[in-house]
């Protein structure tokens, strides 16, 4: 087979630990033999981030804005222990946070469904994608522990000194208060990213808040979504036969459980944090979740939802065998390749991405899988493979699919 040619490079963001090892295996076994792979390579491994004072992360995000599509390996977010382990000059910020801020993006997470790994909710036959607003609310709050009697107020002061005041509570004893905020700009970007992604993936979009109780705060989210939908996206939605609808979060939760899946659920920051853990767990396993960061202007960065699988990496370093699931990382590559193919009109690249995803699913459905998958699969006699052999098994399946 002649290798598939690419015209525009993908922005390739390499990462850390076990996922960095998988990254190399995936390229060697599943990509380079089939594709004349064109990437602009950025090494986001912690050592290189430290050497470049984290400039490499910023550069990779800017390259993503330039080319439009990136694929990212999981990376370490440094903490105290990592400072010592890697002799860091500084406790560098989370790369995902840095990239998200530059791309002004929203993260969409969806599970990969496989026969034999049955969701806890039996009617969920299609993936539910969660879109979490990643700015503000309780994550950027101000809190006070009220010591005793007194009046708490919300005060806004304009540059000219005029004020808006609102009584929070007249305390007659100890208590607590918190102030949270969001901005029209951030909510609008979130809305646009959601509408754009719904159109891109041809799925319905649900949005839910608690607007009946929060008549100004949550209601503003609802209003901004509706205004932007009516002005910019309604026509395209109708043309594609997909739907946008807003509903109270209580109603959304009930409907989600009764649904068959196959839609995007846009959530405010806290709701998305909590609901994505619930949805991921109900579908089976973190190692089967994909994640894509979408900017309001339609720039895409694909990755796996899991981290660098540190525990497996230490085993690997000791020369012990690992059985780490590479599927979500492979799907990050296929997502990026398919998008690149779509933008550059290379149908062979899109088709290859489809076939490689099929090969991953078929390999597991045929009973060949990693340790963690075998623990949740209903397959009777699973063959448990190590990290490399699993990738090689996927390659065998891929070759047989490509022959047909
Ligand atoms: P993790 O890497 O997601 O791993 C947590 C545990 O989940 C693993 O120990 C493993 O369980 C299981 N697991 C996750 N992915 C798996 C896979 N592909 N195959 C098999 N098992 C898998 O999370 P963490 O250990 O909390 O974090 C490690 C590092 O990743 C941290 O430095 C963190 O900053 C970083 N992180 C990065 C990202 C990102 O770049 N997007 C996201 C999250 C975390 P067992 O050990 O029981 O087998
Ligand atoms: Mg959470």
Element (H, E) at 267: strand 263-267
Dump the DSSP string for 327-357: HHHHHHHHHHHHHHHHHHT-HHHHHHHHHHH
Handedness of CA 343, 344, 348, 352 (dihedral sign): negative
* CA 329 – ligand 1 centroid, Å: 12
- Residue-wise pLDDT tens digits, 248-301: 999 999 999 999 999 999 999 999 988 988 888 888 778 899 999 998 888 999
Pocket of ligand 1 (CB under 6 A): 74-77, 96, 286-287, 303, 306-311, 324-325, 372
What percentage of the chain has pLDDT greater than the value 70? 100
**What pLDDT, on the 0 to 100 scale, is given for residue 12?**
98
What is the DSSP secondary-structure string of 103-166? HT-EEEEEEPP-TTS--SSTT--S-EEEEE--SSGGGG-EEEEE-SSEEEEEEEE-TTS-EEEE
Pocket test for ligand 1, best of 306, 322, 372, 387 (most atoms within 8 A of CB): 306
Buried b (16+ CB within 10 A) or exposed e, 343-353: eeebeebbebb
Task: Please name which ligand lies nearest the alpha carbon of 315.
Answer: 1
Atom of ligand 1 nearest to the CA of 324: 19
Q: How far is the CA of 259 from the centre of ligand 2 (A)?
A: 22
Provide the residue ranges of all domains of the chain, joining segments of one domain with +: 1-106+296-404, 119-137+182-283, 142-179
Distance 327 CA to ligand 2 centre (A): 22
pLDDT for position 281 = 84
CATH class of 1-106+296-404: alpha beta
Tell me what pLDDT residue 267 has: 96
- In angstroms, the CA 340 to CA 9 distance is 8
- For residue 316, CA distances in Å to 139, 310, 388 come to 36, 10, 12
The 10 Å CB-count burial string (b at 16+, else e) for 273-303 is bebbeebbeebbbbbbbbbbbbbbeebbbbb
Ligand found nearest the CA of 331: 1
CA of 385 to the centre of ligand 2 (A): 30
**Closest C-alpha residue for ligand 1 atom 23:** 307
- Closest ligand to residue 274's CA: 2
- What single DSSP character describes residue 287? G
Residues 289 and 305: their CA atoms lie apart, in Å, by 5
Q: Token pair for residue 361?
A: 């699913």
What is the model's pLDDT at position 117? 87
Pair 263, 65: CB distance under 8 Å: no
In angstroms, what is the span from residue 185 Cα to ligand 2's centroid?
Answer: 24
Ligand 2 centroid to Cα of residue 286, in Å, is: 12
Which residues of the chain have a pLDDT value below 70?
A: none
Ligand with smallest separation from the Cα of 134: 2
Give the Å distances, CA to CA, from 36 to 4, 6, 18, 351: 6, 7, 25, 15
How far is the first Cα of the chain from the last one, in angstroms, to the nearest whole number? 13
Ligand 1, atom 11: nearest CA belongs to which residue? 309
């Amino acid at each position: 087979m002649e290798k598939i040619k690419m015209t525009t490079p993908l922005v390739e963001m390499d990462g850390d630990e076990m996922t960095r090892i998988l990254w190399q295996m995936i390229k060697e076994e599943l990509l380079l033999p089939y594709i004349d792979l064109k990437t602009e390579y950025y090494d986001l491994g912690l050592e290189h981030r430290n050497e470049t004072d984290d400039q490499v992360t910023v550069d990779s995000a800017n390259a993503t804005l330039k080319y439009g599509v990136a694929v990212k390996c999981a990376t370490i977010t440094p903490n105290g222990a990592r400072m010592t382990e890697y002799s860091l000059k500084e406790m560098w910020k989370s790369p995902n946070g840095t990239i998200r801020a530059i791309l002004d993006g929203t993260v969409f997470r969806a599970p990969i469904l496989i026969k034999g790994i049955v969701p806890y909710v039996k009617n969920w036959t299609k993936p539910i994608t969660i879109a979490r607003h990643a700015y503000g609310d309780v994550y950027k709050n101000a809190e006070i522990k009220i010591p005793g009697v007194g009046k708490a107020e919300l005060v806004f002061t304009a540059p000219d000194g005029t004020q808006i005041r609102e009584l929070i509570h007249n305390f007659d004893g100890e208590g607590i208060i918190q102030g949270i905020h969001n901005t029209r700009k951030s909510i609008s970007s979130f809305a646009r990213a959601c509408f754009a992604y719904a159109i891109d993936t041809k799925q319905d979009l649900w949005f839910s808040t608690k607007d009946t109780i929060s008549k100004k705060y949550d209601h503003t989210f609802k209003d901004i979504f509706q205004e932007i939908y009516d002005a910019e996206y309604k026509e395209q939605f109708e043309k594609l036969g997909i739907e946008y609808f807003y509903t109270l979060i209580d109603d959304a939760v009930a409907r989600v459980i009764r649904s068959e899946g196959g839609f995007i659920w846009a959530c405010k920051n806290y709701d998305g944090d909590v609901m994505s853990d619930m949805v991921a767990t109900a579908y089976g396993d973190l190692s089967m979740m994909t994640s894509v960061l979408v900017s309001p202007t339609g720039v895409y960065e694909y990755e796996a939802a899991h981290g660098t699988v540190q525990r497996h990496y230490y085993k690997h370093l000791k020369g012990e065998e690992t059985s780490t699931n590479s599927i979500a990382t492979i799907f990050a590559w296929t997502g990026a390749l398919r998008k690149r193919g779509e933008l550059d009109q290379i149908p062979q690249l899109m088709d290859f991405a489809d076939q490689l995803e099929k090969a991953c699913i078929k390999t597991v459905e045929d009973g060949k899988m990693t340790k963690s998958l075998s623990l949740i699969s209903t397959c009777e006699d699973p063959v448990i493979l190590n990290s490399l052999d699993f990738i090689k098994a996927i390659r065998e399946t891929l070759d047989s699919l490509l022959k047909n």
